Amino acid sequence: MEAKLVPAAGFPIEWIEIGGLNRVGLAQRIKSLGQLPGSTVQAMRIMRRRKPRAVFSMGGYVAGPVMMAAALMRIPIVVMEPNAIPGFTNRRLARVVARALVNFPETARYFPAAEVTGMPVREDFFKLPSREPMQNGRFTLLITGGSQGSKRLNDAARESWKRFAEARLPLRIIHQTGSAMQRELQQQFQHTGLNGEVTAFLDNMPSAFASADLVVCRSGASTVSELAAAGKASVLVPFPFAADDHQLRNAEAMTGIGGARMVLDKEMTGVRLFFEVSELAESPATLRQMSEQARALAKPGAARRAVEVLEQLAMR
């Protein structure tokens, strides 16, 4: 993604060669360990040429050699950790970090110096007004599996349609499927008699959030941060193969304060989806409380604060 976005934004980009170490096969791990010294040297050469005063990192295996190079050259490192449990790289190199900017209070314990800043989220999410449940006499459900879609959520939604139709709940469904299953699901949805739309992508996610009474989605850091910023009640279905099970930890953090409900991936069926949605649709008070608790996690100004911290360390 960076290979396209960074040059398009007018910034130069440098390259190093490194692979993952966490949740990979033995052959890949051996290859990555073999690349690590050379990649660290590559990063040190870049830094000698660029002469950075500080290094900012979002973690991930690509950040490993860069953070190691910065530590060896005594360049201060600022990391932003979006997940409730730090990723492999940030955990391993936590002791060399000058400042950690974290999304969840419980993450601070992993670093010697941490600050709860939240994660940068588009301002549009913070500006969404509070929504009274069942506006216009109907309950709006947003189901989204991210840009690629989620087969588990797609299948559960399809299995739930018959139950929703039989229950005659005044429901509108907005379902973002990803491109792989969109045509199939759209054709089937048209025969259910339900109100709503099935789309591959949602170009304006803040607008979709604004119209929703409840969001059913995965629990990646960006998604959870957007839910908090928008103050949206949600049913979170953690992706079970996420590194270090971070989506589960993110969902636990949100459910722990009462801002969401969690359903494990293996338990998300059409029956369970129908049950969760129906129960919440019949309890506006619960939805209001969940929305308020979700918004309590919101941290506006995270990007600005990251810049301030980075500049402070760079000027020392």
Shared domain for 136 and 272, answered yes or no, is yes
Say what angle helices 221-230 and 284-296 make with each other, to 10 degrees: 110
For a pLDDT cut of 90, what percent of the chain falls above it? 79
Q: What is the pLDDT of residues 175-230, one digit of tens each?
A: 999 999 999 999 999 999 999 999 999 989 999 999 999 999 999 999 999 999 99
Does a structural domain hold residue 54? yes
The pLDDT, as a whole number, for residue 23 is 60
Q: Can you name the residues that pair with 139 across neighbouring β-strands?
A: 171
Shared domain for 236 and 99, answered yes or no, is no
What domain range is 39 assigned to?
A: 14-120+301-314
Domain count of the fold of the chain: 2
Shared domain for 81 and 162, answered yes or no, is no
pTM here is 0.87
Does a structural domain hold residue 5? no
**What ranges make up the beta strands (E) of the chain?**
55-57, 77-81, 99-102, 114-116, 139-144, 171-176, 195-199, 214-217, 234-236, 260-262
Interatomic CA distance for residues 248 and 235, integer angstroms:
12
- What residues contact residue 291 under an 8 Å CB cut-off, 6+ apart? 130, 131, 231, 232, 233, 259
Shared domain for 91 and 130, answered yes or no, is no
Mean pLDDT of 295-303: 92
C-alpha 102: how far from chain center: 13
CATH (domain of 232): 3.40.50.2000
Does a structural domain hold residue 7? no
The pLDDT, as a whole number, for residue 131 is 86
Shared domain for 95 and 211, answered yes or no, is no
Shared domain for 35 and 140, answered yes or no, is no
Does a structural domain hold residue 58? yes
pLDDT at 275 over 80: yes
Shared domain for 154 and 234, answered yes or no, is yes
Does a structural domain hold residue 279? yes
Shared domain for 211 and 292, answered yes or no, is yes
Query: Are 29 and 58 contacting, i.e. CB atoms less than 8 angstroms apart?
Result: no
Interatomic CA distance for residues 156 and 159, integer angstroms:
5
Q: What is the pLDDT of residues 44-64, one digit of tens each?
A: 999 999 999 999 999 888 899
The pLDDT, as a whole number, for residue 264 is 97
